[in-house]
Structure 1
């Protein structure tokens, strides 16, 4: 009986030794089976706070501060669709607004500059009683589009070899533009009231020249308005105003 017990103890010792040797060979070592059962196994270096797949998808889409979606891959944090949702608009392709009237016009070709001249206007030249020794030139746009009166009329009586100078004080702030049917004016001082002028002559024919976009350039055909049968007397003090919208302004100088 005693011999059987000794055999059982010896067998148990061999089994324990064998298990210990096996544990050392596979590198796992011994472990507390009770502690292992009490907590889930975790691999070293693994973030146990990783979100679920649904949370990861949500983070991938991203949200901005206002709760809207934002593409984290976009440099500006935008949605990447090219649509500006700020309401301010920009110059990019994502602009959805139609723009202002001025912005629409900026994309069109610039308007053609058309000079008023003898071919698209009706011109008259009429001496006036007040102020004395003055004549009023009237130009009416008879065309179908706007035209521009630049600078001042270039006057020439008969075969006159000199050009009357303008009254610089009458220079307007901007070019005078006439819509169809509108008129503009220029005043002409024919002669000095005190007789101080020289080289007096009576003009029977008057040519009214028009300037172009630059000073002294041609704006087109001249006009030949009718003069009184007796003609118009002028001398060396002959001057002319710049084009004016108002008849009164034209006769002020």
Structure 2
């Protein structure tokens, strides 16, 4: 019996020793080579993070982004089209409406009036006491239509080779329009009151020419001779006003 128990104890001890050696061997193996496990774990983790669902979702996001961009372009295009339409509406507003209105007004004015010339007016000139060295030229409409007295008259005293200067400040805001039987006026300063003028001479001859809308005498007929009651002295100070609708306005200068 003792022999049997000794054998069993010996066998148990041997088995325990073998188990201990195996455990130690396994522990040694695990401690000596940890990297393959870590690499495998990392690879597994990386692989598991890229799931088909997520990959599909990423592709879906990209696919969705493109239509969204296209839609934005379409919206921008639509806005541009709207703006163009609005601009087109602005361009279709006829500017000729405003200018045409002016043109119509001008045309109707032309139809109702004509240029004042020697053919439809009568001229006379008289001396005045004030201002000094002034005369008043009067133009009366003898026609059947109203006429426009444009700018100022061209005066030629005697053999003068140039037209007189003008009082620029006498320019009216509108053309003087003379109805039949009515008159317009021009003041004429024949010489300087202080004697500062030069090249003075005396004459009994005066010729008057008219201006048209373009500011020249073409188409207004020949100059008109205006009789002077006596010899008149003129010098380099000779100046005229624009046509005015009243004597007082003309004689202010």
**TM-score, normalised on structure 1?**
0.55
Distance 1:130 1:219, change over 3 A: farther
Partner of 2:180: 180
Counterparts of 1:238 and 1:108 in 2: how far apart (Å)? 34
Pairwise mapping of residues 101-120 of structure 1 onto structure 2 (< 5 A)?
110=108, 111-112=110-111, 114-120=114-120
Residue 109 of structure 1: CA displacement? 6.0
Q: 1:210 Cα shift?
A: 0.4
Looking at structure 1, the residues matched to 207 and 194 of structure 2 have their Cα atoms a distance apart, in angstroms, of: 27
Q: Mark the CA change 1:237 to 1:142 in structure 2 (over 3 Å): closer, same or farther.
A: same
1:160 is paired with a residue of what secondary structure?
coil
Q: Which residue number corresponds to residue 213 of structure 1?
A: 213
- Determine which structure has more spread, i.e. the larger CA radius of gyration: 2
Cα deviation code 1:138-181 (max 9, x no counterpart): 00000000111000010001221111011100000011001100
Structure showing the higher helix proportion among its residues: 2
How well do the aligned residues superpose, as a CA RMSD in angstroms? 2.1
Closer/same/farther in 2, CA of residues 109 and 192 from structure 1, 3 Å limit? closer
Which residues of 2 match residues 19-98 of structure 1 at below 5 A?
A: none
Q: Distance in 1 between matches of 2:220 and 2:132?
A: 31
Q: Which residue of 2 aligns with 1:223?
A: 224
Give TM-score scaled by structure 2 length: 0.55
Structure 2 stretches of 5 or more lacking a match? Answer: 1-100
Quick one: distance in 2 between partners of 1:174 and 1:252?
18
> Do the aligned partners of 2:209 and 2:217 also contact (CA within 8 Å) in 1?
no
* 2:248 aligned counterpart, secondary structure: helix
Partner of 2:151: 151
Post-superposition, which runs of at least 4 consecutive aligned residues in structure 1 deviate over 2 A? Answer: 105-113, 216-219
SS of residue in 1 equivalent to 2:210: strand
SS at match of 2:151: strand
Matched residue of 2:225: which SS? coil
Q: Is the 8 A contact 2:137 2:186 kept in 1?
A: yes
Q: Does 1:233 align with 2:210?
A: no
